[in-house]
Amino acid sequence: MKTVYSVGISIFINSCLYIYVFNILKGVSPMPFTVQLPTYQVETKSGSTLYPSHKEAQNHYQKFVDNNVPCELYEDGKLQKEYKP
């Protein structure tokens, strides 16, 4: 029984390898898709910082607002919020 599974797995792996090499020779990327993740940025007069999540950027933005520091919150380069005391 192990031999049958081994042969089946071997054929499957060889088929995948054949398709992969064939696509490379045709000029097809092995991974033809991408995902654009959103970027979040908080800017102040002294500089700007990028954050990986909206929650984290929002927390830092709120800290600046609480400290009465002028700041701006951007998502993907578009202004979302602005605080000017």
Give the C-alpha separation, 19 to 11, whole Å: 12
* Residue 75 β-bridge partners: 40, 78
CA angle 47, 39, 65 (to 5 degrees): 50
Is residue 85's pLDDT more than 50?
A: yes
Is residue 84's pLDDT more than 90?
A: yes
Give the C-alpha separation, 34 to 27, whole Å: 17
Give the C-alpha separation, 53 to 83, whole Å: 20
Q: How confident is the model at residue 69 (pLDDT cuts 50, 70, 90)?
A: very high
- Closest to 76 in 3D by CA, of 37, 48, 33, 35: 37
What's the pTM value of the predicted model, to 2 decimals? 0.60
